Amino acid sequence: MSIVFHTPFIDGLLFGSIAAATDAVAVAAVFMRFPIPDRLNLIIEGESILNDATGLVSFGVIKGIIFSSVAFSLIDTSLSFLWTILGALALGSAIGYVGGKILNKWQGDEYVNFTFSVALAIGGYVIGDHFLHVSGVVITLFTALLLIKTHKDIFTEARVAFHKYWDYTGLMTNSIIFFSDRNSISH
């Protein structure tokens, strides 16, 4: 970017962080049209969401470098990036694991499971993003992954509904993120 368009290097990095994000909604739409094994679909969609989360974190770090009045420090910036990702991964995994164990003991119906899982995802996002300053998107991703992996005692019909619910929620969230990111970039 900086060489071709003669812009400052940091501006090229900012553009790269924006352009690096894949469109998870487009990936899901393509996979719905072709017979793709479920495991491959899960891997590709998960990679796409994690890539988006990393792009958002990178964008935030680079934006902070550009618009901050504090002098740039590679060590501080690297530590901030690692904290944002690893802290979110740890918190999301812990919330999902504990939430799954609670749902296993609780034995609620599918509506209780949905409500509790949404509360965990939103609560984790708010705590991580606003109080711990880690990636809320990564927290939500790992909360959902560990919650589904840990909560194995859901009977078949509820499990199907649970997955459809989270697939739909993921599609809507990715759509909102896609359009809000594009809207905030244009302003």
Residues 6 or more apart from 18 whose CB is under 8 A from it? 55, 59, 181, 185
Residue 86 pLDDT > 80: yes
Residues 6 or more apart from 77 whose CB is under 8 A from it? 61, 65
For residues 94 and 64, which has the higher predicted lDDT (pLDDT)? 94
pLDDT at 152: 67
Across the range 154-179, mean pLDDT stands at 71
Quick count: other Cβ atoms within 10 Å of Cβ 182? 10
- Residue located via tokens 């740890």: 90
Residues 6 or more apart from 127 whose CB is under 8 A from it? 91, 139
Residue 31 pLDDT > 80: no
Across the range 27-52, mean pLDDT stands at 76
CA angle (173, 22, 89) in 5-degree steps? 65
Domain locations along the chain:
2-186
pLDDT at 155: 52
Across the range 31-40, mean pLDDT stands at 78
99 pLDDT band, cuts 50/70/90, is: very high
